[in-house]
């Protein structure tokens, strides 16, 4: 007889195997999906591969796309580690972009050396502020953070839409429906490592943030408290830790990372504030955080992977008429299969010998 039982501490090999199996499964399902919509899976994957890493320009483009995803992925991972199910990264990206834009509006004539750090600090603070609101709603009023962050996401997107179309920030003379600000001053544009592909300072920030988050979670007292809050909040409370304050710190930190992603896109890629360019970065970060098993270095890897996928999918959509939204579909499918893979790793089959006599 074979019994199914739980295996709370699977070995590294089991975990790796289930992970690889889940990825294979995810891609197989994605291939079926592509075939079902009338495209050739081999051609589509080939085009994505070529568009992601096929040339130097493609690779740089992938790194640029990966930059905000790594930051929002880290934002999700930090919050989820503390079992704070914040999906406010989406709104915090917008809040960061808007707060950073405020800095640009405040001192538009400042030199780059002053303006860029200021805009980045404002951006991080904007995201952190929105995260802090959700933390306050949870601690003060007991509002579930998933719901409050979703509501704040919608509210902040409408706020930006108002500022850009009817309000003070829109580009004068442009069609209202464009919903964009005038271009940023040259001094505000993030420095590039590569002139053709615009691999900007944000990528270095994302790399540094991954390492910093890994060190934070593994090696600092705050990291210990975050992990403890995720494990058993009650025990932490009994030890005298102020859980409300900790929640605030985690949510603000998570928001700051997402806010950096937002201002990085504005000053590194689009050079002006536009809502549509920021859409979906936060939700993709949730996928990346979960797929990476909430590990910062895993987020870095997954962020690079999905950056390549997004970049490759755009290339594919230019090459054929297959829609670039395939990237989002593959993201969703991979997420579900990796969740199931995680369950499979924590389950074992044991052959039980029937007792005779």
Q: Using CB under 8 A, which of 8, 38, 173, 221 touches other proteins?
A: 38
Q: What is the token pair recorded at 23?
A: 């990825």
Measured from the CB of residue 31, what is the shortest distance to other proteins in angstroms?
Answer: 13
In 3D space, the residue among 205, 212, 218 whose CA is nearest the CA of residue 64 turns out to be 205
With the CA atoms of 296, 300, 301 and 302 taken in that order, what torsion angle do they form, in degrees rounded to the nearest 10?
A: 90
Measured from the CB of residue 24, what is the shortest distance to other proteins in angstroms?
Answer: 18
Measured from the CB of residue 160, what is the shortest distance to other proteins in angstroms?
Answer: 9
Contact 293, 277 (CB under 8 A): no
Q: Which is nearer to other proteins, 251 or 287 (CB)?
A: 287
Distance CA 166, CA 162 (A): 5
Scanning 206-214, 216-224, 255-263, 332-340 for contacts with other proteins by CB under 8 A, the matching segment is: 332-340
Give CA 131 to chain center in angstroms: 14
Q: How many CB atoms lie within 10 A of CB 337?
A: 21
Radius of gyration, alpha carbons of the chain: 22
Q: How many CB atoms lie within 10 A of CB 31?
A: 16
Q: Is 343 in the site for other proteins (CB under 8 A)?
A: yes
**Cα angle vertex 64, ends 132, 312, to 5°?**
120
Q: Is 85 in the site for other proteins (CB under 8 A)?
A: yes
Q: Using CB under 8 A, which of 130, 135, 251, 326 touches other proteins?
A: 326
Measured from the CB of residue 156, what is the shortest distance to other proteins in angstroms?
Answer: 9
Q: Which is nearer to other proteins, 213 or 326 (CB)?
A: 326
| Residues of this chain that bind other proteins (CB under 8 A) | 33, 37-39, 85, 87, 137, 140-144, 146-148, 150-152, 154-155, 158-159, 161-162, 165-167, 283, 286-287, 290, 321-326, 328-333, 335-336, 339-340, 342-343
């Amino acid at each position: 007889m074979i019994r199914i039982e739980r295996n709370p501490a699977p070995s590294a090999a089991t975990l790796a195997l289930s992970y690889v199996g889940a990825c294979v499964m995810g891609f197989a399902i994605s291939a079926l999906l592509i075939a079902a919509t009338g495209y050739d899976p081999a051609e589509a994957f080939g085009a994505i591969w070529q568009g992601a890493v096929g040339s130097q320009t493609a690779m740089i483009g992938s790194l640029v796309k990966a930059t905000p995803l790594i930051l929002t992925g880290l934002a999700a991972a930090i919050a989820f580690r503390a079992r704070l199910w914040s999906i406010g990264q989406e709104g915090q990206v917008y809040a960061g972009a808007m707060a950073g834009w405020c800095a640009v509006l405040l001192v538009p004539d400042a030199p780059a050396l002053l303006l860029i750090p200021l805009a980045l600090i404002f951006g991080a603070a904007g995201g952190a502020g929105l995260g802090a609101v959700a933390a306050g709603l949870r601690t003060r009023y007991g509002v579930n953070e998933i719901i409050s962050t979703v509501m704040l996401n919608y509210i902040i997107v409408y706020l930006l839409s108002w500022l850009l179309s009817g309000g003070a920030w829109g580009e004068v003379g442009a069609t209202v429906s464009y919903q964009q600000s005038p271009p940023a001053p040259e001094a505000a544009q993030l420095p590039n490592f590569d002139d053709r592909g615009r691999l900007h300072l944000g990528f270095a920030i994302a790399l540094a943030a991954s390492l910093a988050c890994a060190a934070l979670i593994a090696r600092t007292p705050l990291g210990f408290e975050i992990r403890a809050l995720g494990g058993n909040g009650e025990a932490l409370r009994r030890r005298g830790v102020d859980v409300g304050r900790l929640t605030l710190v985690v949510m603000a930190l998570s928001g700051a990372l997402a806010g950096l992603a937002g201002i990085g896109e504005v000053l590194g890629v689009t050079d002006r504030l536009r809502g549509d360019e920021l859409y979906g970065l936060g939700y993709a970060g949730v996928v990346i955080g979960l797929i990476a098993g909430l590990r910062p270095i895993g987020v870095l890897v997954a962020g690079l992977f999905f950056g390549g996928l997004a970049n490759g999918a755009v290339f594919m959509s230019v090459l054929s008429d297959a829609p670039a939204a395939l990237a989002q579909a593959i993201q969703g499918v991979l997420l579900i299969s990796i969740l199931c893979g995680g369950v499979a790793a924590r389950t074992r089959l044991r052959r039980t010998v029937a007792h005779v006599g």
